């Protein structure tokens, strides 16, 4: 996907070509990113689950429906199935 335009980032700070070149210079290697990325996915999915689904169809916090009740309007409005 590499473009054939050669741009020295420091010479071209404002244009799109310059911004693309700077982005390429700051691409993140997979090894050091993995712990951050995995935690972000886990926390993101957990939040999605607790706000959208928990205590409706399945429940982690047992039979009290406090989480469901509190986020109830958002659950409907965000498109999740509810009562």
Partner 1 sequence: MEARSFVLRGVVAGGVAGLVAWLFALVFAEPQIEAAIAYEEGRGEAEQALAVAGGAAPAGGAEEEIVSRGVQATLGVGIGMVGIGIAVGLLFAVAYTLLHGRVALRPRVLALLVAGAGFLTIYATPFVKYPASPPAVGSDETIGDRTALYLVMVIGSLVFLAAAVAVTRLLRERLGTWNAVLVGGVVYVALAAILMSVLPGLGELTINVVESGPRVSETPLPLRDASGAILYPGFDADVLYSFRVASFTAQALLWGVLGLVFGGLVERRIARETADRATEASAF
Give me the residues that bind partner 1 (CB under 8 A), please: 1-3, 9-10, 13, 16, 19-20, 22-28, 32-34, 36-37, 39-41, 43-45, 47-48, 50-53, 56-58, 64-66, 69-83
Min separation Cβ 79 and Zn ion, Å? 12
Q: How far is the CB of 12 from partner 1 (least distance, A)?
A: 10
Which residues, including other chains, have CB under 8 Å from residue 8's CB and lie 6 or more apart? Answer: 21
Q: Choose among Zn ion, partner 1, none what residue 59 binds, the Cβ cut-off being 5 to 8 Å by kind.
A: none
For residue 61, give both structure tokens: 């916090």
Give the integer Cα–Cα distance in Å for 40 and 75. 22
Can you tell me the distance from the alpha carbon of 5 to that of 47, in angstroms, rounded to the nearest whole number?
42
Instruction: For the CB of residue 60, give the shortest distance to partner 1 in the complex, in Å.
Output: 14
Q: How far apart are CA 10 and CA 27, in angstroms?
A: 16
Binding site for Zn ion (CB under 5 A): 82-83
């Amino acid at each position: 996907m590499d473009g054939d335009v050669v741009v020295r980032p420091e010479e071209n700070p404002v244009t799109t070509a310059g911004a693309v070149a700077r982005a390429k210079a700051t691409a993140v290697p997979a090894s050091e990113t993995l712990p951050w990325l995995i935690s972000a996915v886990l926390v993101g999915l957990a939040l999605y689950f607790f706000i959208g689904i928990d205590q409706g169809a399945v429940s982690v916090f047992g039979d009290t429906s406090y989480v469901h009740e509190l986020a109830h309007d958002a659950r409907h409005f965000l498109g999740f199935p509810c009562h």
